[in-house]
């Protein structure tokens, strides 16, 4: 056997053994990681009681507009004519005129139901998750508006950039089979 | 003792009741109306997470794409097929799935899950991390060739392959090691996922992003027109791992399907400068000289490791500020001592939340300590990888033929066409089919 051939054989042997070793390591790592993934699956969600309505949810989500939207607990709502989440604090008239609305994108629909009650509905396509209405509703109303991460939009980024930006730590992992932290009857059940 | 316990329990119950009533009060300013009309309150919709349905499709497409890419690189050797596959993967993993999850970023999730016991790791993320590594261990970096959407986003606009001087390529090639080291450090300490945060291509896939990232993405795409795959070659941290696997690959693409005839036609064919030229055999060193060199290198190796470790561990004060809690604590201190005026949203919120400062201080101390240990490991890793690269340069190798560099070759299938032997093979195939 020539010198060159011998060298090649040795190199091949070393390469084969290194490959086998790394293959086994990767397999072990895979097993270990699969073990980790057996834990209860979790997703991101906002705890409405910890939320301080800092408006960062509108800007920090990796998708635009944000995966965070305002949602409405109808069974908590007072259906008021003057709505702290809908009207500007110094609104001239309690109507649907744009200058009287709080929402910067006009994402809340106000519908007359019966005297003196009005229904407020979030138009999700327009909502940017800025929480301005949430702040108003929490300050003057029943707190039926609150922010939630919508799971039809959330990419479940493994490090949520809004979670990292949240100053009050309100964005946390919750079990995937109960992916919302709801208010009202839905939340209690 | 028992009485004290009872007292504490009562106290806890009492405060809990107090908190509950206050929060109830906040929600009960107005009574819920009872409607006289037929009006029924709508229900709040709760769309469910979709991760589960996509997971299987994602992993299956990943395996299928990798198998196809490896088959094309090693068997059919067709750039056209590779290009079509690459475009399909760019569309699916890039634009349809919006670049998440990707193998490059999955690295950080793996690190976080390994260092932090409580994190949940989706099995898809583990699969996206490991499957490309295994394929590379067998077939070379076929993942880079067609499957990775980040690579495809650059390759698809590539027009001109500017050659980068060897020395510049080597120096720039060290950046991925630094990027990998820091990404692992920041992920392990739960501070930040820098690979995702500074990934320029997701802004293209999602048609949205911060202004600075859009500018970065534009810059990368513009550079990609003239220099093939700048991100893959000079930044990609996952590429470091792939290059290690590819060195050991069981099978790897070759420029020629046959014996190399040294015609030099492939010299300029590689867009990433990964074709090694033949090196003439040199006179062997004397034994004494070789021993001396070996001794020197063996001395440098631990010295570089210790120096690097010392350097980065002593920088833990600065590095740890990537962690938001450390930043918060620093800012709070600065505000208290009057070194800065005004407050930030973070400090204001912290004060309203009523968490004790001692608790935060203790947490910060733990994080800073983690950074000291992490700094040592990072420094040792960087010191070792730099010196090992140097050793690689000083090794005297002989090479008879034109061969792809196993570490840097991304199996893009461009060089095959330049080989006259390949053209012969294609012609023979054609004749056969007729």
Confidence of residue A44 (pLDDT cuts 50, 70, 90): very high
CA distances from B399 to B58, B275, B280, B404 (A): 41, 12, 7, 11
Question: What's the gap in Å between the CA of A37 and the closest CA on chain B?
Answer: 5
pLDDT at site B215? 95
How many CB atoms are located within 10 Å of the residue B390 CB? 15
**Is the same domain home to A163 and A174?**
yes
**Is the same domain home to A26 and A107?**
no
Residue from the list B192, B206, B346 with its beta carbon closest to the beta carbon of A63 = B206
Are the beta carbons of B113 and A33 separated by less than 8 Å?
yes
How many CB atoms are located within 10 Å of the residue B320 CB? 25
Mean pLDDT throughout A81-90? 91
Residue from the list A18, A76, A158 with its beta carbon closest to the beta carbon of B193 = A158
∠ at Cα B110 (B109, B112), nearest 5°?
60
**Is the same domain home to A25 and A112?**
no
Among B271, B197, B258, residue whose Cα is nearest residue B232: B271
Is the link from the previous residue into B171 a cis peptide, with omega within 30 of 0? Answer: no
**Is the same domain home to A167 and A114?**
yes
* Cα distance between residue B278 and residue B397, in whole Å: 10
Q: Is B262 left (phi over 0), alpha (psi -120 to 50) or beta?
A: left
Judge residue B145's burial from the number of C-beta atoms within 10 Å of its C-beta, 0-12 exposed, 13-18 middle, 19 or more buried.
buried
Confidence of residue A189 (pLDDT cuts 50, 70, 90): very low
Confidence of residue B4 (pLDDT cuts 50, 70, 90): low
The tens digit of pLDDT for each residue in B247-267 reads: 999 999 999 998 999 999 998
Residue carrying structure tokens 């059919």: B76
Q: Tell whether the model's pLDDT for residue A77 goes beyond 50.
A: yes
pLDDT at site B282? 73
Domain ranges, residue A63 = 42-187
- Model pTM? 0.88
The tens digit of pLDDT for each residue in B89-133 reads: 999 999 998 888 899 999 999 999 899 877 888 888 999 999 999
Confidence of residue B25 (pLDDT cuts 50, 70, 90): very low
**Is the same domain home to A65 and A106?**
yes
**Is the same domain home to A29 and A57?**
no
Mean pLDDT throughout B380-399? 87
Answer whether B397's CB lies under 8 Å from B280's CB. no
How many CB atoms are located within 10 Å of the residue B295 CB? 10
In chain A, beta strands by DSSP E: 42-46, 68-72, 108-114, 117-122, 145-149, 171-175
The tens digit of pLDDT for each residue in B157-171 reads: 999 999 999 999 999
Answer whether A22's CB lies under 8 Å from B245's CB. yes
**Is the same domain home to A120 and A34?**
no
Q: Mean pLDDT in chain B?
A: 89
For the ranges A63-77, B14-28, B174-188, B213-227, the lowest mean pLDDT is seen at B14-28
* Cα distance between residue A141 and residue A28, in whole Å: 56
For the ranges B18-27, B35-44, B290-299, B388-397, the lowest mean pLDDT is seen at B18-27
- For B392, the token pair is 């690689």
| ipTM of this complex | 0.84
Please report residues of B whose CB lies closer than 8 A to that of A150. Answer: 47
Question: What's the gap in Å between the CA of B20 and the closest CA on chain A?
Answer: 11
The tens digit of pLDDT for each residue in B73-82 reads: 999 999 999 9
**Is the same domain home to A63 and A35?**
no
Q: Is residue B418 classed as helix, strand or coil in its secondary structure?
A: helix
For the ranges B11-15, B162-166, B315-319, B422-426, the lowest mean pLDDT is seen at B11-15
CA-nearest residue of chain B to A176?
B49
* Cα distance between residue B20 and residue A188, in whole Å: 14
**Is the same domain home to A141 and A68?**
yes
Q: Is residue A69 classed as helix, strand or coil in its secondary structure?
A: strand
Are the beta carbons of B32 and A168 separated by less than 8 Å?
no
Are the beta carbons of B49 and A43 separated by less than 8 Å?
yes
CA distances from B303 to B281, B309, B394 (A): 32, 10, 18
For the ranges B225-229, B357-361, B388-392, the lowest mean pLDDT is seen at B388-392
**Is the same domain home to A171 and A107?**
yes
pLDDT at site B43? 87
**Is the same domain home to A113 and A71?**
yes
* Cα distance between residue B39 and residue A113, in whole Å: 7
Are the beta carbons of A76 and B32 separated by less than 8 Å?
yes
For the ranges A47-61, B18-32, B193-207, B375-389, the lowest mean pLDDT is seen at B18-32
Question: What's the gap in Å between the CA of B27 and the closest CA on chain A?
Answer: 4
Contact of A112 with chain B, judged by CB distance below 8 Å, is answered with no
**Is the same domain home to A18 and A52?**
no
Mean pLDDT throughout B276-298? 82
Judge residue B259's burial from the number of C-beta atoms within 10 Å of its C-beta, 0-12 exposed, 13-18 middle, 19 or more buried.
exposed
* Cα distance between residue B398 and residue A47, in whole Å: 64
Number of folded domains that form chain A:
2
């Amino acid at each position: 056997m020539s010198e060159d051939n011998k060298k090649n054989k040795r190199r091949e042997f070393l390469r084969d053994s290194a490959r086998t070793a790394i293959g086994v390591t990767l397999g072990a790592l895979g097993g270990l990681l699969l073990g980790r993934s057996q834990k209860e699956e979790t997703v991101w969600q906002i705890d409405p009681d910890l939320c301080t309505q800092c408006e960062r949810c509108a800007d920090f989500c990796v998708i635009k507009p944000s995966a965070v939207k305002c949602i409405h607990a109808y069974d908590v709502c007072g259906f008021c004519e003057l709505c702290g989440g809908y009207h500007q604090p110094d609104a001239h008239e309690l109507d649907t005129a744009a200058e009287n609305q709080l929402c910067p994108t006009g994402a809340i629909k106000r519908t007359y139901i019966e005297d003196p009650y009005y229904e407020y509905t979030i138009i999700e396509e327009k909502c940017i998750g800025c929480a301005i209405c949430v702040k108003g509703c929490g300050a003057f109303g029943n707190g039926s508006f609150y922010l939630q991460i919508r799971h039809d939009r959330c990419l479940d980024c493994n490090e949520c950039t809004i979670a990292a930006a949240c100053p009050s730590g309100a964005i946390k992992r919750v079990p995937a089979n109960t992916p919302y932290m709801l208010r009202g009857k839905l939340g209690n059940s | 003792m028992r009485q004290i316990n009872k007292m504490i329990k009562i106290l806890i119950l009492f405060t809990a009741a107090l908190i509950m009533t206050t929060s109830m009060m906040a929600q009960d300013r107005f009574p819920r109306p009872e409607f006289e009309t037929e009006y029924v309150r709508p229900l709040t919709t709760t769309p469910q997470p979709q991760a589960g349905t996509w997971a299987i499709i994602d992993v299956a497409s990943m395996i299928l794409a990798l198998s196809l890419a490896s088959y094309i690189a090693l068997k059919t050797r067709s750039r056209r097929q590779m290009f079509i596959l690459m475009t399909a993967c760019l569309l699916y993993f890039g634009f349809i799935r919006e670049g998440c999850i990707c193998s490059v970023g999955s690295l950080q999730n793996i690190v976080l899950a390994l260092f932090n016991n409580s994190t949940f790791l989706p099995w898809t993320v583990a699969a996206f991390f490991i499957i490309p590594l295994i394929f590379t261990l067998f077939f070379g970096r076929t993942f880079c060739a067609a499957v990775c959407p980040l690579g495809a986003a650059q390759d698809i606009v590539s027009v001109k392959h500017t050659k980068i001087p060897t020395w510049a390529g080597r120096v720039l090639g060290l950046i991925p090691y630094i990027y990998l080291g820091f990404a692992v450090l920041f992920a392990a300490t739960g501070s930040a996922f820098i690979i995702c945060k500074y990934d320029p291509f997701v802004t293209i896939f999602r048609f949205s992003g911060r202004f600075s990232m859009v500018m970065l993405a534009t810059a990368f795409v513009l550079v990609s027109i003239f220099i093939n795959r700048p991100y893959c070659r000079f930044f990609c941290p996952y590429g470091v791992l792939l290059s290690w696997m590819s060195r050991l690959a069981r099978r790897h693409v070759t420029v020629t399907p046959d014996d190399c005839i040294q015609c030099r036609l492939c010299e300029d064919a590689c867009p990433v400068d990964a074709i090694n030229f033949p090196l003439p055999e040199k006179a062997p060193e004397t034994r004494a000289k070789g021993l001396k060199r070996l001794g020197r290198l063996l001395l440098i190796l631990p010295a570089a490791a210790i120096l690097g470790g010392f350097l980065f561990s002593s920088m833990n004060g600065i590095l740890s500020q990537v962690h938001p809690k450390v930043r918060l604590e620093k800012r709070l201190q600065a505000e208290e001592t009057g070194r800065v005026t005004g407050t930030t949203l973070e400090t204001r919120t912290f004060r309203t939340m009523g968490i004790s400062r001692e608790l935060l201080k203790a947490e910060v101390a733990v994080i800073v300590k983690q950074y000291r240990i992490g700094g040592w490991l990072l420094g040792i890793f960087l010191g070792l990888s730099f010196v090992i690269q140097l050793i690689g340069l000083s090794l005297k190798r002989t090479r008879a033929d034109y061969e792809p560099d196993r570490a840097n070759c991304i199996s893009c299938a461009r060089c095959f066409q330049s080989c006259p032997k390949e053209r012969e093979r294609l012609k023979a195939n054609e004749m056969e089919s007729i």
